[in-house]
């Protein structure tokens, strides 16, 4: 089990040094309410074994996190009367990651809320699409 760097806020929550509104816990994951909820019921799921982000977590640890996310989604939805749920994880400061400890946001949604991290851009030109497609396929080799 990897330990979070000293002072890491979610590491301190996991160790019980800082309080949190725990909603679920098992031997691999821990889930608690976000202190700055975007909607009522906004929950964070973290692995007990430290990883800064999704890329540093093992497939087994990610599977455990997603199993917890999946388990909590209907419970949270029912609890707050949400109509939908957004699940996301920010990776890197540029993406809005403020806490360097892998966490999955579970954000209950309603059709009338104004949350949007998805702002569609201009339609992708065919040539640029082919260029990016080729670059990604090359990176995967």
Selected from 23, 30, 31, 32, the binder of ligand DGP by CB under 6 A is 32
The residue range among 48-56, 93-101, 114-122, 124-132 that interacts with ligand DGP, by the rule CB under 6 A, is 93-101
Residue 91 binds ligand DGP (CB under 6 A): no
Q: Are strands 43-47 and 29-33 parallel, antiparallel or unpaired?
A: antiparallel
Residue with tokens 């949007």: 116
Would you give the DSSP letter of residue 14? H
* Catalytic residue status for 105: no
Radius of gyration of the chain (CA): 17
Residue 20 is a binding residue for ligand DGP (CB under 6 A): yes
Burial environment of residue 68 by CB neighbours within 10 A (0 to 12, 13 to 18, 19 or more): buried
User: Should residue 36 be labelled a site residue for ligand DGP when binding is judged by CB under 6 A?
Assistant: yes
User: What residues line the site for ligand DGP (CB under 6 A)?
Assistant: 9, 20, 32-36, 44, 90, 96-99
């Amino acid at each position: 089990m990897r330990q979070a760097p000293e002072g890491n806020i979610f590491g301190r929550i996991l160790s019980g040094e800082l309080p949190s509104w725990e909603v679920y816990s098992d031997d691999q994951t821990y889930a608690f309410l976000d202190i700055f909820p975007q909607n009522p019921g906004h929950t964070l799921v973290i692995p007990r074994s430290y990883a800064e982000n999704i890329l540093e977590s093992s497939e087994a640890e990610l599977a455990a996190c997603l199993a917890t996310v999946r388990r909590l989604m209907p419970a949270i939805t029912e609890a707050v009367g949400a109509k939908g749920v957004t699940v996301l994880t920010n990776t890197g400061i540029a993406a809005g990651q403020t806490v360097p400890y892998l966490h999955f946001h579970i954000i209950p949604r309603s059709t009338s809320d104004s949350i949007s991290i998805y702002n569609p851009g201009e339609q992708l030109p065919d040539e640029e699409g082919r260029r990016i497609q080729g670059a990604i396929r090359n990176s995967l080799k």
